[in-house]
Amino acid sequence: MKKRMFFWMVSAAAVLLAMSVPALAEEAAKAQRRSVAWMFWIATFSDPIGFFDMMAIFACSLASIALIVEHCITIRRSVLVPELSVAQVKTMFDERRFREALEFCQNDPSFVSAVVHAGLIEAANGYEAMENAMEDATGERTARLYRKIEWLNLLGNVAPMFGLWGTIWGMMGAFSTIEARGGKANPADLAGGIMVALVSTFCGLIVAIPALAAYGIFRSRIEQLSMEAALVAEELLANFKPSAA
Whole-number Å distance between alpha carbons of 163 and 198: 9
Q: Which of 65, 74, 62 is nearest to 210 (CA)?
A: 65
The dihedrals phi and psi of 184, each to the nearest 5 degrees, come to -120, 35
Q: How many other CB atoms sit within 10 Å of the CB of residue 22?
A: 9
The pLDDT of residue 231 is 93
Task: Identify whether the C-beta of residue 204 lies closer than 8 Å to the C-beta of residue 163.
Answer: yes
Q: What is the pLDDT of residues 189-199, one digit of tens each?
A: 666 677 778 88
Query: What helix, strand, coil percent values describe the chain, rounded to 5?
Result: 90, 0, 10
Confidence of residue 21 (pLDDT cuts 50, 70, 90): very low
Q: What is the pLDDT of residues 29-73, one digit of tens each?
A: 454 455 667 676 766 767 788 788 889 999 999 999 999 999 999
The dihedrals phi and psi of 110, each to the nearest 5 degrees, come to -75, 160
Q: Supply the pTM of this predicted model.
A: 0.77
Intra-chain end-to-end CA distance of the chain, in Å: 106
- Report the pLDDT averaged over residues 120-126: 88
User: Which conformational region is residue 172 in: left (phi greater than 0), alpha (psi within -120 to 50 degrees), or beta?
Assistant: alpha
